[in-house]
Each structure stands twice: as C-alpha cells, then as structure tokens.
Amino acid sequence: MLTTRHMAPGSNGDRMMIVDAAGVTANFSGIEFSKSEVATLAMSDTPESEPELVSLFQTNTIGLKTNIFANWNVSRAGAVAVLEGI
C-alpha cells in the first residue's frame, strides 16, 4: 500500500487512496540534467529553524538538478480505490 500526506480533502471530509503498486505502471518519457554555479541554496536540517543561505559561487561548488518526466497508468482494474468521508 502506498500513502501520501499531500492528498487534498474531499467534499465529505478527508480522503484516503489505496493503491496496489503491482497494478500501476509508469511510462518514462525523458530525463533532463542541468547544473549551476551561480545559485543560492536555503539549507536547513529542521523545518522549524531559519534556513542558512549558501552561495554556490562563493563556496566554489556546483548544484545539479534532474527532471524526470513520467506518466502513471492504472494497468489493472481495481488497483486504485478512493475512500471519502473518513
């Protein structure tokens, strides 16, 4: 079973999605890499604290970014169910 805390509430209250991962497939259509030497990162170990700003240029470092493009498909009937009003 897969879970997430990012699902929006339904009209009847909270929702729960139950997913059988064996019944879901992915179609990866591309991958993109990029780098930067002139960015500022907000670094923090805890979400409650104020992040420290770190300049890649001043620290002589490189930041890498990867984008993966994918579509998810339900490949078997009944593999995904949504419960509402819980």
Inside any domain, residue 74 = yes
Inside any domain, residue 2 = no
> What does pTM read for this prediction?
0.51
Inside any domain, residue 3 = no
Residue 1 has pLDDT above 60, yes or no: no
Inside any domain, residue 6 = no
Inside any domain, residue 78 = yes
Q: Summarize pLDDT for 62-85 with one digit per residue, the tens.
A: 999 999 999 989 999 988 888 887
Domain count, the chain: 1
DSSP code per residue over 5-57:
S-PPPBTTB-EEEEE-GGGEEEEEEEEEEEEESS-EEEE-SSTTSPPEEEETT
The average pLDDT across 50-54 equals 92
pLDDT at position 80: 87
**Residue-range definition of the domain harbouring residue 58:** 15-84
Q: Which residue has the tokens 């923090």?
A: 44
Residue 3 has pLDDT above 70, yes or no: no
pLDDT band (50, 70, 90) for residue 2: low
